[in-house]
Structure 1
Amino acid sequence: MKRISRDSGHRVTEWPAAPAGVVPPEALPRSPALPRIKVLHVITRFSAGAGAYTLMAAEGLDPNRYEVWVAGVPGGELWPRARAQGLRTVEIPGFRHVLTPADLFVLWRLVRLIRRERFTIVHTHSAKGGFLGRLAAWLCRTPVVVHTYHGVSFHPFMPRLRYRLYRLLERATRRFTDHFLAEAPQLACEVVEHRLAPPAAVEVVPSAVDLGRIPTGFDPAARQALEIGPGEALIGTVGRIDVQKSPLDFVRMAAAVRAWHPDTAYVMVGDGPLKEDVQRLAAELGVEIRITGYRPDAAWLVAGMDLFVITSLYEGLGRALTEALAAARPVVATAVNGVPDLVAHGATGLLGSPADPEGLARAVGWMLDHPAEATTMGKQGRERVREAFAPEAMCDAIDACYRRLLGLSPPPSASVGPPQGVRPV
């Protein structure tokens, strides 16, 4: 059967799906094992949002069709879970988040791995992983190279030289890439505007969350686990305490809000290099910030918060933000990258400008002064997330992307049309 592509006018051949078997499988001779498609995910830091996206994508692929590997920086908290799920893992010595001369050795190790294992698909994530992984795949002539943007690696708050260098590296690897994915429509638009990907070459595949382990509303047990009394409004955030998340702005916001609403408590669920800076600034401003450190149950702890806040300078979509909305938590977030696609101002939360803690404090104060409206926003955010961010939709979209690039037919159960959760840009 042939059809005419509306975009190009070319004829595209569609093979009909194989009919279901009419003989019971146990009555047939044993079928030979078919070769699996080998996929290598290359990611910088195998943790947090991008790491969870990568792991969920790897876990969700059909193990009968795909053999999935993950390579990246040693030491992320997701490596044990990946190995427990049967994924092949390679923690590369010398691989770090920032650019260093050791990256030449990392590139060499990636080239050796790709040549030895003969991967059909190399799927890269994040800035360093994307640059080194795509370059190694190009040197090895890998048939298919896919890159996912979890955020743009350069942003206006970076030093000018670093900004230009990261933008140059991202653009340099554009020609090594067969297809691009992005976590949110606005992020995909930014990728095209910065000429990191050609127009119409980016598909939006939202970062799914494990909805089964997230409460659908406020959970008093989570609040008790955070050791917060019932008489205080709990304002919290979840994430790595680093430059991207701008945790010092969270402290400044908290100090401003506490001046207007003294019966408030503040918690940061996470850990990172700026933890001591946060503690020092909190002491200077006279506001108490409870820092829990890394918690594997962070998605559940969010359900004990009265208000969830992110102060990020850049954010692809924000997995913790998605999890907070899934638990119907009112949210205040910075309007960066893909966040406005998730937080509609006045409908599913409130938005503020990055590096503006006073503005964020005013938004938080408004939420505290209007609890009914805040509750409604949280419920509407929950409806949106639980409808569109299921893991099955994300994994089906990635599988469809791989199949399309390799010329494979969709599975028999797939309906005609674009996969759910994917939106061309």
Structure 2
Amino acid sequence: MSARSGAGWQGTVALLLASSTGGVGQHVRSVTRGLVAQGTSVLVCGPAATDKQFDFVGAGARFTPVEIPASPTPADARAVLALRRALAAEPVDVVHAHGLRAGLVAVLARPAAPLVVTWHNAVLAGGLRGRLSGLAERLVARRARVALGASSDLVARVTALGAADARLAPVAAPTLPPPRRRRAAVRAEFAVTPGQPLILSVGRLHPQKRYDVLVDAAARWRDRTPPPVVVIAGSGPAYLPLAARVSAARAPVTLLGHRTDVADLLAGADLAVVTSDWEARQLFAQEAMRAGVPLVATGVGGLPELVGDAAVLIPSDDVDAVDRAVRDLLDDESRRADLARRGTERAATWPTETDTVAALVDLYADLAGDATGPAAPDAGAATGRG
């Protein structure tokens, strides 16, 4: 990010995030651990429940509760005040907000330190909610000193919104620990018989992930001999509708809830499937390819640039495409082996957690040494008119 290196920079950065049970929380914990290891002082601000899940203090940070729910509420005003108090109590050199919700609270708090905002997700909502989110995006893009996008389409988006400095900052999936169980033990947990395929998906149970498409495709696989076993690991607001859909379709799908043994699940899996409407650099897609599990994924957002030709890409919202892709791979062992090999080779080219932290340290060092102050909004951004 800079011609000079910020290695050894020992300033203070405040990392801000909203409620998270998945990728953003994992990323902030990974960044926290890496920054602390190289001498940076880290203050994490976010919901207490998010800290309880990801243990930022255990990663070496100090933590101050700032309750930012996943969706806008009148409580956002209290979050702005809480962030102001936190930054007044402990002056920082850089504020780095992760996600639009955290970015908006940071902008409204008007920190004296330079503000960096990472876009992790696209705005997919329509109607009034979509329009309001669009206004928030424009305001945050124009007020941030630097806007980072986890994928190229997000960088293009924030550039179009008026960001003065938009950069690609790929999010590296934290390295999974080695599996603790053998493949046979994992498969036995789900009563997978010899020769029966085990298909895995991992992620938050949210409409964006389109697990309904996977469930509908899985219902068709009952005609296979033997039918594959499909397991989905994750928790979230779509659990009850998905459970009802599984039951109504008599699909061979098990919703596992939150799991901490993804490495084990991958060791037992024959295929990994991602059916999302949009993703940047989905952590599970990275984990599957690193583990050498053949991947079927929707060709949306940043997934094509992530996987290249090392996965089978299909259209989103297309049950037929999921059905065909999975059947083709289950019937072609040599192709699965080829995808497994190409997946691990592709994964070896991705930026690592260490690379991610090094780039952020360089950015923070540059901003902390730049006394020009945060970017000021133009009149349109301040009033919500573009």
Q: Scaled by the length of structure 2, what TM-score is found?
A: 0.87
Q: Distance in 1 between matches of 2:226 and 2:3?
A: 67
1:381 to 343, 368, 374: 343
Please, which runs of 5 or more residues in structure 1 have no aligned partner? 1-11, 19-33, 409-425
Q: 1:257 to 1:13 in 2, by over 3 A?
A: closer
Residue 52 of structure 1 pairs with residue 15 of structure 2: no
User: Per the alignment, do residues 190 and 88 of structure 1 end up closer, same or farther by CA in structure 2, a change over 3 Å counting?
Assistant: same
Three-state SS of the structure 2 residue aligned to 1:75 is helix
Using the TM superposition, give the Cα deviation of residue 326 of structure 1 relative to its aligned residue in structure 2, in angstroms.
Answer: 0.5
Q: Which residue in 2 is equivalent to 1:92?
A: 66
Q: Report the 3-state secondary structure (helix = DSSP H, G, I; strand = E; otherwise coil) of the residue aligned with 1:83.
A: coil
Which contiguous aligned blocks of 4+ residues in structure 1 show a shift greater than 6 angstroms? 12-15
The change in CA–CA distance for 1:255 and 1:72 in structure 2 (over 3 A counts) is same
Cα distance, 1:170 vs. partner?
0.7
Query: Of the candidates 273, 276, 291, which is equivalent to residue 309 of structure 1?
Result: 273
Picking from 275, 292, 295, the partner of 2:259 is 295
The answer to whether the aligner puts 1:148 opposite 2:118 as a matched pair is yes
Per-residue deviation, residues 295-333 of structure 1 (Å, max 9, x unmatched): 112233122111111111221210011001100111111
Task: Give, in whole Å, the separation in 1 of the partners of 2:162 and 2:282.
Answer: 21
Q: Does the Cα contact within 8 Å between 2:15 and 2:28 map onto a contact in 1?
A: yes
Q: Deviations over 1:237-259 (max 9, x none)?
A: 00111122122122112113334
* Local SS of the residue matching 1:82: coil
Gaps of 5+ in 2: 371-386
2:96 alignment partner AA = H
Matching of residue 250 in structure 1 with residue 214 in structure 2: yes
| 2:336 pairs with 1:370 | no
Please say which of residues 111-120 and 257-266 is displaced more in the overlay. Answer: 257-266
Q: Taking structure 1 as reference, are residues 102 and 292 closer, same or farther at Cα in structure 2, changes over 3 Å only? A: same
How far the C-alpha of 1:62 sits from its partner, in A, is: 4.4
Confirm or deny that 1:111 pairs with 2:84: yes
Q: How far 1:349 moved relative to its partner?
A: 0.9
Could you tell me how far apart the structure 2 residues matched to 1:48 and 1:247 are?
Answer: 16
Superposed counterparts of 1:186-205, under 5 Å:
186-193=153-160, 195=161, 197-198=163-164, 201-205=165-169
Q: Which digits, 9 at most, give the CA deviation of each residue in 1:22-54, with x for residues without a partner?
A: xxxxxxxxxxxx994221111112431111111
Q: Does 1:66 align with 2:40?
A: yes
Choose between structure 1 and 2 for higher RCO, CA contacts under 8 A separated by at least 6 residues: 2
CA contact (8 A) 1:330 1:374 kept: yes
Greater C-alpha radius of gyration: 1
Q: In 2 relative to 1, CA 169–383 (structure 1 residues): closer, same or farther, beyond 3 Å?
A: same
Tell me how far apart the structure 2 counterparts of residues 369 and 406 of structure 1 sit (CA, whole Å).
56
Q: Which amino acid aligns with 1:322?
A: Q
The offset of 1:206, in angstroms, is: 2.1
Give the aligned length.
367
Quote the residue 1:406 is aligned against: 368
Cα deviation, residue 225, structure 1:
4.5
Name the SS of the counterpart of 1:395 in structure 2.
Answer: helix
CA RMSD of superposed structures (Å): 2.7
TM-score for the superposition, normalised by structure 1: 0.79
Q: 1:359 aligns with which of 309, 321, 324?
A: 321
For 1:81, the equivalent position in structure 2 comes to 55
